[in-house]
Amino acid sequence: MKQTIMEKNDTRLREHLANERTFLAWVRTSVALIGLGFVIVKFALFLKEISLIFQANAIDVSESFSALTGVIIVVFGIFLAPFAFFQYKKMEKQINNRTYKSSSLLTLFLTLSIIAGGILLILHLITSTGL
């Protein structure tokens, strides 16, 4: 059976809406990473101020590591937003041209980024707990 014009339009509409939902998920993740990094940096600053109030002479290495980790997370979140936009536009073009191909490079990049973030977190936890 042939699809009617209405069914073809509905299918294309669903594809575009799914692409937009994916874009919004990327943006939400970007904003969450920026917020998380900001909180980490501010908490490290708070810990430094508390140590100054109580006359603690030694600055803990984990405080500076926390600040650096927070800044890296903010930078990653900032770079994620334009990346999400370009990915959205690429998918939009592929949907319109009916030439969709999945991106193995994108999958590899995201996987390696998650692994790197996890390793940084493990290093931070080890250094801050003294294991």
**Tens-place pLDDT, residues 11-54:** 888 999 999 999 999 999 999 999 999 998 888 888 778 777 87
What pLDDT band is residue 64 in, cutting at 50, 70 and 90?
A: confident
The 3-class SS string of 30-75 reads HHHHHHHHHHHHHHHHHHHHHHHHCCCCCCCHHHHHHHHHHHHHHH
How many domains is the chain partitioned into structurally? 1
* pTM (predicted TM-score): 0.74
The whole-number pLDDT of residue 124 equals 72
The whole-number pLDDT of residue 85 equals 93
The whole-number pLDDT of residue 102 equals 77
Domain range for 44 is 5-129
CB 87 within 8 A of CB 96: no
Looking at the predicted structure, is the pLDDT value of residue 1 above 60?
no
